[in-house]
Amino acid sequence: MTTKELAERLELKGLTRMFEKPVSGVYISDMVSDVIANAKAGNVLVTLQVHNNVIAAANLVDVSAIVITRGRTLPSEAISLAERAEIPVFTTGMDSWQVASRLYEAGIR
């Protein structure tokens, strides 16, 4: 599955331009330090966190996409940073558990 297919399947709203990348796995966390320690390259990061640092941490571990839950959005500075890092960021009204369920149903483990 790619980030584009993922967005279509989960009906995610894009906050950045689309950067189509392969998705391999998912990591759910609201802690930057936890993302650095445990997320893997290619993962979709599901988070409530909208601080610039979450983009910098996601970039460091090279996640394929970020899904912001509960309808939250990113400040323009963070959107710009994500675009420069070519990390697509999406938002959804679902909470993290609902997103996790949908990702599981979509075959992402």
Partner 1 sequence: MDSATANHRYEMVNVRPGYVIVEHEVFSKQMRSYFCAQAQPPVEEYREGPKIWKFSGMAQSFQFDLRDRTSGAVTKYDELLGLVPYSGCPTDSDIYRLGDIAQAEKIWIYVALTYGPVEATRQPDWLEKIRILNRYFGERLTTPNKKILILPDYFNLYKEFSHGQILADFGLTAMEETQAP
Calculate helix-pair angle for 3-10, 96-105, nearest 10 degrees: 110
Which 29-58 positions form the footprint of partner 1 (CB under 8 A)? Answer: 30-34, 36-37, 40-42, 49, 51-54, 56-57
| Binding flag, residue 13, partner 1 (CB under 8 A) | no
Q: Which stretch binds partner 1 (CB under 8 A): 6-14, 26-34, 91-99, 100-108?
A: 26-34
| Binding flag, residue 2, partner 1 (CB under 8 A) | no
Angle at 33 between CA 95 and CA 83, to 5 degrees: 65
Cβ–Cβ under 8 Å, residues 71 and 93: yes
Query: Closest separation between CB of residue 83 and partner 1, Å?
Result: 12
Residues in the chain: 109
